[in-house]
Amino acid sequence: MNTRYTDSLIMEYNMPGSRQSKRFSPSVLTEKIIPVLLVILVLTLLAVVIILALALLGIFPSVV
């Protein structure tokens, strides 16, 4: 296997000053919203998993 070729590919993808896409340039608003949306999605998923676990254990929802 040509390690020189694979090393150059790895360096190309890990370079901090790599080329930016010419078709897409994210706006400041997009750069702020995407991480916030990802955090909200993860927290929602975590809440659903906790509610399901509580429901399976018979703790939630409690019917009186």
Confidence of residue 64 (pLDDT cuts 50, 70, 90): low
Question: 52 with 45: CB under 8 angstroms?
Answer: no
**pTM higher than the cut 0.75:** no
Share the mean pLDDT of the chain: 78
Listed residue (38, 19, 40) closest to 30, CA to CA: 38
Q: Which position has the higher pLDDT, 23 or 4?
A: 23
**Where do the structural domains in the chain lie, given as residue ranges?**
25-64
Residue 48, Cβ density class (10 Å: 0-12 exposed, 13-18 middle, ≥19 buried): exposed
pLDDT in tens, 33-63: 999 999 999 999 999 999 999 989 888 776 6
